[in-house]
Homo-oligomer: A and B are copies of this chain.
């Protein structure tokens, strides 16, 4: 599949070269943060990240300027494969199947990366915000496609439908009692509710 957009942020393009250990530690800090973000119960402090990475706290922060930028980069990194999968659903044959698949993935991703929502609250996170826009656009496209094929009702604004899906996935993932059964029920109710009346 053709790569439609540039998501990599592994290294800054036009900067002066940095020492090998600095590059390695930047990677270690990023990986440590991603590891912590993927745990359901974790405190994302600089101290904790540094411990996970086997580095000093100062080194961890310096690699990205500050903690906010580090978390932003880590979240964006975690988001990338998910976004890729979301875009892939657009080439599936059946829009209903595509929508179901995306919803399931959305819920599972948010369940597995529960802490991300917490961490991003009230932060200015350029990388993550850009990813979110791409994701939103993908969801919009998917809803538009589903509408054209009579899978989704058109008496409700498409943007509102997309927003509904996003928010509601978050809610299910957030639930203390999240389970495959709850997820399945949720998707059934939403898909039925979104179907046009015959």
Q: Which residues of A pack against B, CB within 8 Å?
A: 156-157, 160-161, 163-164, 167-168, 170-172, 174-175, 177, 181-182, 185-186, 188-194, 197
Q: CA A154 – CA B172 in complex, angstroms? A: 20
Tally of this chain's copies: 2
CB-based contact B160/A185 at 8 Å: yes
Q: What B residues does A172 contact at CB under 8 A?
A: 164, 167-168
19 example contacts (A-B, Cβ-Cβ < 8 A) are as follows A156-B189, A160-B181, A160-B182, A160-B185, A161-B185, A161-B189, A163-B182, A164-B172, A164-B185, A167-B172, A170-B174, A171-B171, A188-B193, A189-B190, A190-B190, A191-B193, A192-B193, A193-B193, A193-B194
CB-based contact B167/A189 at 8 Å: no
CB-based contact B193/A189 at 8 Å: yes
Q: Known: A167-B171, A175-B167. Is A194-B189 also a contact (CB below 8 A)?
A: yes
